[in-house]
Structure formats: C-alpha cells, structure tokens
C-alpha cells in the first residue's frame, strides 16, 4: 500500500471490491493474531502483578524486622542515657553508627517498596509510603541530633562536662599557690557540680554561679589569669545548662522529647502502612483476575466488532497518512501546509484536530522566538481554556517581564546606594580635614555639595545666637557656578523659606520657586532655577543651621536623603568644633589668669599699701578660675596625670560615666581605662613633653557598647615653664566622625 507524505494534498481512488477482499482478510487474521497476543499478554500481566504483590509482602516483612531492631536500639539508647554512668563519646559513636546502618537498610527497603508499581499506583498507599518515609527521616534526624548533643555534653571523661570538671581542678591547683582559704569554696563547687550531674536541677547552676562570683571577688588584686578561669568556668556552666535544656533533661520539651515523639510516630505509621498494603495486595490480586478475564472478553467482542468494521469500510490509508503526520509532529517538525483527507475517510475529524494542533504549535514557536529576541509584549492566543502549554508560556512571559522589571529596579537601587555611600565617604573626609576651622569647613562643604548634587548654587546659613532674645541665621558660606560668592546675608528665624525651615526643622523641596526668590546670572543670561532644596542642619534635634541648594534639575529622592544625612554629619562636626574651640579658649584664659596672678603677687611684695586691694582682686580671680574649672567638669571629661602617665585626678562626670570610684582609678595608668588597644603607650608621655599638647581619637568598650572619644592632652607647666602634670580633656564623638 503506497503512502503520500504529509502535508501534501491527499486524494486517492476507491478500491475495487474484488481486490479489496484479500487485504481485508489479511487484516482480519492480523487482528486475530493480535487478539491472541493480547490474551497471552494479559495472562502474563496478571502473573506479573501477582509477583509484584509477593514482592510487596516480602519488603513489608523485611521492614517489620528492621522496625523490631529499631525498637530494641531505641530502648537500649534510652536506658544508656537514663542509667548509664560515665558514658563516653565512643559509646554514642557506636550507637550512632548502628542506628545509621538501620536507617540505611530501612531507607533501601522503603525505596524498593515505593518502586513496586502495584502499590504506588494507589494514591492512598503511595501517600502512606511517603508519610512513613518522612516519619523515618524525622526519627533519624531526631536520633542524630540527640546523639550529637549527648556527645557534645559528654561525661566526666569527655565533652563539655569533662572541660567543666577539669576547669574546676585547674582553678583549685592555681589557688593552692595564691590563697588556701579559697579552696573550701572550690570543694563546694565540685560538690555542686556532681549534684547537678545527678539531678539536672537548673537551680544548682544559679548557686554555682553565685559561689563562683563570690570566690572570684575574693581573689587578690592582679590575679587576672585565675579570674579569667573563673569566667571560663561560668561560661562552661551556662553551656552545660543550655545543653541540658536543649536535650530535655530538666524540661518536658527538648530533643529527648522530640526523639520519643518521633519514635511513637514510627510504629503507628508502620501499622497503618502495613494494613493498607495488605488491603491493597489482596484487592490487587482479586482485581487482576477479574479485570484480566473481563479484558479478554472485551477484546473478543472488539475482535468481532473490528472484523465487522474492517469489512464495512477500509481505513488503513487515512490512518497511515495521519500516523505519518503525528510522527513528524512528535519529532518536532512543523508542517508547511494543512493536512487534507476526504471527510468520508475521516469520520472523527482527526485531520481537523491535527491541523489545529499544528497551527497552535506554529503560533507557540513564533511566540517563543519573539521572547528570545526580547519582544516581551508579544501576545499569544490560547487554543482553549485548558491549553496547558499556552498557559505555561504565558506564565513564562510574565516571569520574564517581572524579572526584567526587578533587575531594572535592582540596578537603580544599586546606583542610588553607591551614590549615597560614596558621597558620605567623601564628605566625611572633608569634615575631618576642616574640623578645626569653621570658615574653611563651611566653604569646602557647600562647594563640594553643590558639585556633587549637580546643582548651580548653594548656601549655608549658620545659627547665630549672640542675641539670645533674637537669634538669626547668618550666611557663612555660598557657592555658585564653580566660584565662591562673597556676600553677606542675615535672616531672622521664621523669615522666608530659610527661616521657616529653621523653625520647623524639616526638609523643604520646592519645584515651583516664587518669582524673584533666586536668580542665576551667567554669560548666557539670567535664568531662574527650577528646584530649591532647604535642609535643616541638626545635632541631636538642636538646630545648627540651614542648607539651601538651587538647581535647574529636579532633585531625586536619594539625593535628598543623602543631603539630609550629610547635613546631620555637618551639624555634629560644627558642635564638636565649637566645643573644642571653647575648651581651648578656656585653657588659654586660665593660663593667662595664672600669669596675671603671679604678676600681681610680685606687685604686692613691692607695694605693701596696695596689699588689701590686691588680695581682694586675687580672691575674685580665684573664684572665677574655680568657676571655669567647674564648667569644664560639668561639660567634658577631665583626667590629670603626672609626667609618667599615672592618674592623679579624675572628675566626677567621667567617674559616673565609667561607673567607678576615684579610689579604683587613682594611681592607675591610662591603659587601665581604655585597654591594651589604646594608642597611648609608654613612649607617648615622653613625646608629649616635647609637643606640649596633642589630640587623638580612641575607642572605649563598656560592656556591649562602644564609645568614641576625642582626647586633647595638654602639658601644664609651673611659673618657670617646667612641666608639672598633664591634663586630658575628653569629649564624646559619633562613630562616623572617626572615619
């Protein structure tokens, strides 16, 4: 029988009745042979299903044996935990290894059971197998976690308990050379340790820690190594307590409870699985026999019906053409034309459906090509509401669009974050370099800010509180078109946009600037800016000044956020600089007053008649000097050292901050307060005598908090100019100013 390849137009002539009879008989005998083969296959299939059920029962029996071994191992492990004495890591390693072997064998048996098609075809049995496998996995995980914790806890010969007991012995040996009186407390600690190991009572750990702290506080001064061992002992006590709580020795929860719960699930789930499998096996055997014979009968009837249809009308040519089309579609080949078959030879309309399928595949291919070329807005028409391939391709298109949008947002966010971080680093360097001169600080800051924001003009108005009743904002720095502007401008609080920003302490962003507010003059003519940004410069909610930036371009959100952050840094730097300048002025004034007092004393010796007046003047100046010192004590931290760096005096403000008493710090060195990481070493004091004064930045760690200080060391001299002591003036600064 000749075939015409798809997708050419199909047309064939009707066969002669006499010539068609032998071929139809041939087809009938072929169907008969197929029927016999089908009967043999069905009988073989029935036997195969019976063999599968036998395999299922065999695997079920093997799993039951493993469960019994698992039960014995479970009880043996619990007995070891509850009644074993001095159980070491090796015991738990062996137990862990045995349990792992059991779990591996169980996993293999469950896998074989899950591969039996007779069982997995039944969703109820398949789900129960999966549930049992999940329960075994949970029990295995609980077993591994429990054994790991038990090995970590250990005993007096291994694990954390061994370290705990050994630490107590090390402390006892160390105290023999220091204080025999403290050994009694160590014996009590050892007794409490054994009592806790026997009872697992958490209240004992509190008693242990209290006793440890008590003995530690009685150590002679300077025994830092032994004190550190006491700290390690308390850390190990806390670690053992946490391990016991985690395991569940002292609570109804914990890993031991989870272990027992997982164990209960194993037996209950296995019984359900066994009942369902046995029910499935019996049902499968009965169903196999019944369905097998029913299928044989059905095939026999089908044979009769096929013979009738075969001789009624031949269908081989149309089916061959359709089969050729389907095979090409299955190979991924798309037809160039449509399949055409005489409708009388295609009563089911199969060729029409194949044509629809081919056209649908063509449309999906073009859709995929458009997506590959980046045309994400291409539309695709679904063949029906149940067109799963089309629906999934639509979802894929939506995912591509979403991913593209997310990538664009991610790139934009990276640009903004990099803009802010680079700007903060740049302006942090500017603030650090110019922190000693407010004029240079304002000029450098406003110049670089205008450039960084790509603006055209900017100014910094600093708050002037010389007149407390009528404070004003004075323009301290201005910059426009790449050059500094030498202009003077004073604004009252609440006056205009700048004054309003200062009063409200909130950022103002205008995209429509009032007429005549700002006018930019350049070689190209006059042009009003389109955008105005006013940002208050604050320090801990206290107004320092106002930044005013004008631009021809709209300010983005990240530019406004950056300006607000850098304005806060500017405010902190200005406040710190003012405090430092005020401190320096006070020091200079106090030294000048000391010189004047010396001159007055000389005059008193030369002129006895003016003695009384001079004494009164001296008392007045002394009172003023005392007020200056009191002001310093209230505003900053003060420490006095001798020329070797030993602390001779420390003010109350710093003692309260450190939570110390003066007797604890007097006679100590600078390193006693700031730690070994301090930049002040033994050579620092000799260098300081030559420099007279210097300023450093240091970090101080108190508990879990970290503080940063700016320290100004000044050498105090006597009337002959010889150094007699060193004065350290300390101010706290934010961490960002240390960069």
DSSP 8-state symbol, 15: P
pLDDT in tens, 434-474: 877 878 888 888 888 888 888 888 888 988 888 878 888 88
Q: Is residue 462 within 8 Å of residue 442, measured between CB atoms?
A: yes
Q: What pairs with residue 713 in β-bridges? A: 694, 728
The domain total for the chain is 4
375: burial class by Cβ within 10 Å (0-12, 13-18, 19+)?
exposed
Compute φ and ψ for 10, nearest 5 degrees.
Answer: -100, 135
Return the top range by mean pLDDT from 55-64, 303-312, 313-322, 578-587. Answer: 578-587
Distance CA 303, CA 298 (A): 9
Q: Which domain, by its residues, includes 733?
A: 636-739
Residue 373 lies in a domain: no
**Choice among 129-138, 402-411, 477-486, 568-577 with the minimum mean pLDDT:** 477-486
Tokens 């798809």 sit on residue: 6
Give the pLDDT of residue 528: 63
- For residue 258, how many C-alpha atoms fall within 13 Å in the half-sphere facing its CB? 18
Q: What pairs with residue 549 in β-bridges? A: 458, 533
Q: What is the pTM of this model?
A: 0.34
Give the pLDDT of residue 86: 47
Q: Is residue 668 within 8 Å of residue 639, measured between CB atoms?
A: no
Q: Is residue 287 within 8 Å of residue 279, measured between CB atoms?
A: no
Give the pLDDT of residue 90: 57
Distance CA 659, CA 652 (A): 10
Q: Is residue 438 within 8 Å of residue 577, measured between CB atoms?
A: yes
Residue 70 lies in a domain: yes
What is the chain's length?
739
- Token reading at 706: 């970290």
* Of 287, 307, 327, the domain-final residue: 307
DSSP 8-state symbol, 13: P
Q: Is residue 51 within 8 Å of residue 40, measured between CB atoms?
A: no
Residue 316 lies in a domain: no
Strands (E), 135-177: none
689 and 612 within one domain: no
223 and 179 within one domain: yes
268 and 125 within one domain: yes
Distance CA 559, CA 567 (A): 12
Neighbour count for residue 317 (Cβ, 10 Å):
18
601 and 560 within one domain: yes
Give the pLDDT of residue 536: 93
573 and 687 within one domain: no
361 to 173, 218, 353, 562, 684: CA distances (angstroms): 86, 88, 12, 54, 84
Nearest to 134 by CA among 106, 96, 95, 112: 106
Give the pLDDT of residue 522: 35
Distance CA 192, CA 213 (A): 15
pLDDT in tens, 521-555: 433 334 567 788 999 988 888 888 999 998 888 88
Strands 472-480 and 637-641: unpaired
Q: Please report, for the domain that includes residue 137, its CATH number.
A: 1.20.120
663 to 214, 433, 653: CA distances (angstroms): 22, 39, 15
**291 versus 442: which is more confidently predicted?**
442
577 and 484 within one domain: yes
Q: If pLDDT is split at 50, 70 and 90, which confidence band does 2 have?
A: very low
Asked if pLDDT for residue 706 goes beyond 70, the answer is: yes
pLDDT in tens, 488-524: 578 888 888 888 898 888 999 888 776 656 544 433 3
641 and 625 within one domain: no
64 and 88 within one domain: yes
Q: Is residue 739 within 8 Å of residue 432, measured between CB atoms?
A: yes
Residue 9 lies in a domain: no
Asked if pLDDT for residue 575 goes beyond 90, the answer is: no
DSSP 8-state symbol, 248: T
- The helix or strand, by DSSP H or E, that contains position 458, with its residue range, turns out to be strand 457-464
DSSP 8-state symbol, 333: P
* Of 250, 272, 297, the domain-final residue: 250
128 to 267, 275, 371: CA distances (angstroms): 13, 10, 43
133 and 161 within one domain: no
Q: Is residue 695 within 8 Å of residue 711, measured between CB atoms?
A: yes
Residue 567 lies in a domain: yes
**Choice among 93-102, 294-303, 331-340, 422-431 with the minimum mean pLDDT:** 331-340
Average pLDDT, the chain: 76
Cis omega before residue 47 (within 30°)?
Answer: no
The helix/strand/coil state of 646 is: strand
* Of 268, 286, 307, the domain-final residue: 307
Give the pLDDT of residue 520: 46
Can you give 518-530 as a three-state secondary structure string? CCEEECCEEECCC
- Token reading at 430: 């500017």
Q: Is residue 698 within 8 Å of residue 677, measured between CB atoms?
A: no
Q: Is residue 347 within 8 Å of residue 353, measured between CB atoms?
A: no
Q: If pLDDT is split at 50, 70 and 90, which confidence band does 592 have?
A: confident
Tokens 């000391």 sit on residue: 594
Which residues, in sequence order, are CB contacts of 401 under 8 Å at separation 6+?
376
585 and 518 within one domain: yes
Helices then strands, counting H and E runs in the chain, come out as 20, 14
Which residues, in sequence order, are CB contacts of 486 under 8 Å at separation 6+?
none
Asked if pLDDT for residue 623 goes beyond 90, the answer is: no
Q: Is residue 406 within 8 Å of residue 539, measured between CB atoms?
A: no
Distance CA 367, CA 397 (A): 10
Cis omega before residue 7 (within 30°)?
Answer: yes
- For residue 334, how many C-alpha atoms fall within 13 Å in the half-sphere facing its CB? 11
Mean pLDDT of 310-325: 62
Compute φ and ψ for 669, nearest 5 degrees.
Answer: -95, 170
DSSP 8-state symbol, 192: H
- Token reading at 398: 């939506």
Neighbour count for residue 207 (Cβ, 10 Å):
15
Distance CA 441, CA 433 (A): 8
Residue 341 lies in a domain: no
Distance CA 51, CA 411 (A): 62
Residue 332 lies in a domain: no
pLDDT in tens, 156-188: 777 788 788 888 888 888 887 777 777 888 888
Compute φ and ψ for 530, nearest 5 degrees.
Answer: -90, -25
Asked if pLDDT for residue 381 goes beyond 60, the answer is: yes
Distance CA 460, CA 445 (A): 9
The helix/strand/coil state of 465 is: coil
Distance CA 307, CA 299 (A): 12
Q: Please report, for the domain that includes residue 685, its CATH number.
A: 3.30.450.20
477: burial class by Cβ within 10 Å (0-12, 13-18, 19+)?
buried
644 and 621 within one domain: no
**506 versus 11: which is more confidently predicted?**
506
540 and 523 within one domain: yes
Q: Please report, for the domain that includes residue 621, its CATH number.
A: 3.30.450.40
Give the pLDDT of residue 534: 92
Residue 521 lies in a domain: yes
């Amino acid at each position: 029988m000749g075939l015409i390849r798809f997708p050419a137009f199909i047309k064939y002539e009707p066969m002669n009745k006499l010539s068609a009879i032998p071929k139809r008989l041939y087809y009938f005998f072929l169907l008969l042979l197929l029927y016999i083969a089908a009967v043999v296959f069905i009988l073989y299939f029935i036997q195969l299903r019976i063999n599968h059920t036998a395999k299922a029962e065999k695997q079920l029996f093997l799993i039951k044996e493993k469960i019994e071994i698992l039960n014995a191992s479970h009880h043996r492990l619990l007995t070891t935990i509850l009644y074993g004495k001095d159980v070491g890591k090796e015991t738990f390693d062996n137990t862990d290894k045995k349990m792992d072997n059991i779990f591996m064998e169980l996993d293999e048996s469950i896998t074989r059971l899950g591969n039996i098609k007779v069982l997995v075809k039944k969703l109820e049995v398949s789900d129960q197998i999966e549930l049992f496998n999940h329960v075994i996995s949970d029990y295995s995980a609980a077993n591994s976690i429990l054994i790991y914790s038990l090995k970590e806890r250990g005993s007096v010969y291994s694990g954390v308990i061994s370290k705990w007991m050994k630490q107590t012995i090390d402390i006892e040996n160390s105290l023999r050379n220091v204080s025999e009186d403290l050994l009694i407390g160590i014996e009590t600690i050892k007794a409490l340790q054994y009592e806790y190991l026997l009872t697992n009572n958490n209240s004992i750990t509190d008693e242990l820690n209290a006793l440890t702290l008590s003995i530690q506080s009685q150590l002679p001064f300077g025994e830092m190594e032994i004190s550190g061992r006491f700290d390690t002992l308390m850390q190990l006590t806390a670690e053992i307590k946490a391990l016991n709580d985690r395991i569940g020795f002292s609570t109804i929860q914990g890993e031991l409870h989870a272990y027992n719960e997982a164990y209960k699930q194993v037996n209950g789930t296995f019984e359900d699985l066994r009942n369902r499998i046995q029910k499935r096996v019996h049902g499968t055997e009965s169903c196999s026999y019944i369905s097998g014979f029913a299928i044989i009968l059905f095939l026999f009837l089908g044979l009769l019906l096929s013979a009738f249809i075969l001789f009624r009308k031949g269908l081989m040519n149309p089916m061959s053409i359709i089969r050729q089309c389907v095979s090409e579609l299955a190979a991924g080949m798309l037809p160039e034309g449509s399949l055409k078959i005489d409708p009388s030879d295609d009563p089911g309309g199969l060729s029409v459906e194949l044509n629809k399928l081919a056209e649908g595949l063509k449309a999906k291919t073009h859709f995929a090509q458009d997506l590959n070329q980046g045309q994400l807005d291409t539309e695709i028409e679904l063949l029906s509401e149940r067109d799963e391939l089309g629906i999934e391709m639509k979802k894929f298109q939506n995912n591509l669009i979403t991913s593209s949008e997310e990538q664009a947002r991610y790139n934009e966010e990276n640009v903004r974050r990099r803009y802010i971080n680079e700007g903060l680093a740049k302006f942090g360097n500017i603030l650090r370099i110019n922190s000693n001169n407010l004029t240079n600080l304002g000029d450098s800051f406003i110049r670089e800010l205008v450039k960084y924001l790509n603006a055209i003009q900017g100014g910094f108005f600093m708050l002037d509180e010389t007149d407390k009743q009528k404070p004003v904002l004075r323009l301290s720095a201005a910059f426009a078109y790449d050059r500094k502007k030498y202009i003077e401008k004073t604004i009252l609080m609440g006056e205009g946009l700048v004054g309003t920003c200062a009063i409200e302490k909130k950022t103002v962003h205008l995209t429509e600037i009032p007429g005549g507010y700002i006018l930019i003059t350049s070689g190209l003519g006059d042009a009003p800016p389109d955008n105005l940004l006013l940002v208050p410069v604050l320090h801990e909610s206290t107004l320092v000044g106002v930044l005013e930036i004008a631009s021809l371009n709209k300010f983005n959100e990240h530019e406004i956020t950056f300006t607000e952050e850098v304005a806060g840094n500017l405010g902190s730097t200005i406040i710190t600089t003012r405090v430092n300048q005020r401190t320096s002025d006070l020091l200079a004034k106090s030294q000048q007053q000391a010189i004047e007092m010396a001159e007055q004393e000389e005059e008193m010796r030369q002129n006895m008649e003016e003695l009384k007046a001079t004494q009164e003047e001296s008392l007045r100046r002394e009172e003023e000097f005392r007020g200056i010192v009191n002001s310093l004590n209230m505003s900053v931290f003060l420490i006095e050292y001798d020329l070797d760096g030993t602390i001779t005096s420390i003010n109350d403000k710093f003692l309260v901050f450190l939570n110390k008493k003066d007797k604890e710090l007097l006679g100590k060195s600078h390193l006693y307060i700031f730690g070994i990481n301090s930049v002040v070493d033994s050579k620092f004091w000799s260098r300081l005598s030559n420099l007279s004064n210097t300023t450093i930045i240091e970090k101080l760690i108190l508990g879990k908090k970290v503080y940063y200080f700016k320290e100004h060391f000044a050498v105090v001299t006597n009337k002959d100019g010889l150094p007699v002591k060193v004065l350290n003036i300390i101010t706290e600064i934010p961490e960002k100013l240390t960069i």
